[in-house]
Homo-oligomer: A and B are copies of this chain.
């Protein structure tokens, strides 16, 4: 199985699929191709959430604003999974989530003279994903092991500050419903009926529909973090929050 994720929209992902399918017969599963364009952090967050749902697979990830520069092209083994994509940090958080006890090993793809300088998804990463499907990376001559693994570009989500009376976090992403996903662990809401978000008191609910339609609420999202939402409405509008914003959560 090869999963595909990108910020490409269409029809570029189909070119990657063709490039894979003419090399091997494999199941393809789309993760998303509408990640915020060139936003490595948002893509890394979503992949960290979604890829661990999958059985062992090759995950092709192309959010690649540096395509055609000297950034490396990587294959990363993470436990029983393999990630393929650019060396810009987008692979690291999902690799840690996938590795389990199996560890992480990184390889550089030796791609000489790719067909284009602007579409390595088709010309470098898709062929590498097809090659590594069903084959251990250390058996592929076109992959050069990196040592130490720490050489690849990493990306860390910001850490929240958590005090006895408040938490200060960051908005990681806003989902398609307008739900504002923060980096603050949901556990801080345990046993609370309300919290203050940026100075305004809001009800804490187990899920959206526990408040009347239109009510701004605070809940624990499916990722386990604090989420600011509106039942049948859009949290990012009601809370005035966008990705990257600081969010202050005050307790009693």
Q: Which residues of A contact B (CB under 8 A)?
A: 1, 3, 5, 8-12, 14-15, 17-19, 21-22, 28-35, 37-38, 46, 49-55, 65-69, 115-119, 122-123, 175-177, 206-210, 219-222, 224, 227, 231-232
Contacts and interface: CB of A to CB of B under 8 A. Distances in A.
B68 A209 contact: yes
Going nearest first, the 3 A-B pairs with the smallest beta carbon separation are A68-B207, A18-B53, A9-B176
Contact of A118 (B35, B51, B208): B208
Contact of A22 (B18, B55, B177, B222): B55
B53 A19 contact: yes
B222 A118 contact: yes
B21 A34 contact: no
A66 to B, nearest CB: 5
B11 A50 contact: yes
A228 B38 CA distance: 18
| Copies of chain A in the complex | 3
Contact of A30 (B1, B14, B55, B66): B14
Given A11-B46, A17-B53, A117-B206, 15 more contacts: A11-B32, A12-B176, A14-B32, A14-B50, A15-B50, A15-B53, A17-B54, A18-B51, A18-B55, A66-B209, A69-B209, A117-B207, A118-B222, A118-B227, A123-B222
B31 A28 contact: no
A79 to B, nearest CB: 14
A65 B232 contact: yes
A176 B30 CA distance: 18
A135 to B, nearest CB: 20
A46 B222 CA distance: 27
